[in-house]
Amino acid sequence: MTARDDAPPGESAERATLSLPPPNYLRWEIIAVFAVSLGASGLNALLSLIGSLLSKRSLSSQHALLVGSLSPHPYFDLVLQLVGIAEALTPVLLVLYLMARSGERPSDIGLDASQPVRDIVRGAVVAAVIGGAGLGLYVAAFQLGVSLNIVPESLPHVWWRIPVLLLSAAHDGILEEILVIGYLLRRLDQLGWTPWKAILAAAILRGSYHLYQGVGAFLGNAAMGIIFGVLYRRWGRVTPLIIAHSLIDAVTFVGYAALVGKVSWLP
């Protein structure tokens, strides 16, 4: 590895001793680390200050605006929603950095646009099958008292409601499928896990962070995780699974917003 010509004295020897990556990887590492930690905290603090000045509230009460409530300023609320979605995607940045540092490309987990038509068709078919089955199971589970009554969205009736719901759906698909399918299954493969053991572990993880919705949600999401794991093994691509997950959540979020209070079968 060749050090930069303008590097400070002694940096070349230090880099060789520590086996540091090139400077562009170090910059990427710094951004990724602070995007998931203190950098996000600093951005939230700045937004909290701006919100308190706009609404003339104390900083402590303004903290509520960062966790879902609304201020009297709709455009500031939109900024909060967009920042929240962006911050929630920072683990993806960290995963892509770690893969790049290991010499792996996003295409190694099938994260690219090399097969756009096939990915869209596959994603749409999977979304239709799993989404339809999931809706029926959820309603049945709710009626049996197995699942909690979960409100998919609670945004007010503002002009940016649907775009933010669609962005939230895309966020869910990108975050969960890259981390739980693409990244985790690849790393478990590298650790020598058998394919089915890795798929079951990833499925249980997927179900676990839906437990707040009840046992039915855990089982449903774990089953979805098994199906997605099998499809990933078959296709070698995470992109159609991102599309499928995003479509499922988009229909759920927007459909709930359009139908709640208008149909008797919707909890």
**CA torsion, points 184, 185, 188, 193, in degrees to nearest 10?**
150
What pLDDT score does 2 carry? 47
What pLDDT score does 258 carry? 67
Residue 214 phi/psi, 5-degree rounding, is 115, 170
CB 84 within 8 A of CB 44: no
What pLDDT score does 65 carry? 40
- Nearest CA to 210 out of 198, 222, 226 is that of 222
Taking CA atoms, 141 is separated from 128, 132, 209, in Å, by 20, 14, 18
CA gap 252, 44 in Å, rounded? 28
**CA torsion, points 237, 180, 107, 241, in degrees to nearest 10?**
30
What pLDDT score does 76 carry? 81
Give the start-to-end residue ranges of the domains of the chain.
108-267
Taking CA atoms, 134 is separated from 64, 75, 112, 138, in Å, by 32, 35, 28, 6
CB 130 within 8 A of CB 72: no
Q: Which are the contacts of 42, defined by CB distance < 8 A and separation ≥ 6?
A: none
What pLDDT score does 3 carry? 47
CA gap 3, 197 in Å, rounded? 43
Instruction: Report, as ranges of residue numbers, the positions in the chain whose pLDDT lies below 70.
Output: 1-20, 55-73, 137-139, 141-156, 256-267
Tokens 């499922």 found at: 248
Tokens 């929630």 found at: 88
What pLDDT score does 79 carry? 86
Tens of pLDDT, residue by residue over 19-39, are 667 888 878 788 887 788 777
CA gap 137, 56 in Å, rounded? 46
Residue 80 phi/psi, 5-degree rounding, is -60, -40
Which tokens sit at 247?
A: 């479509």
Other Cβ atoms less than 10 A from the Cβ of 192: the count is 8
CA gap 1, 15 in Å, rounded? 9
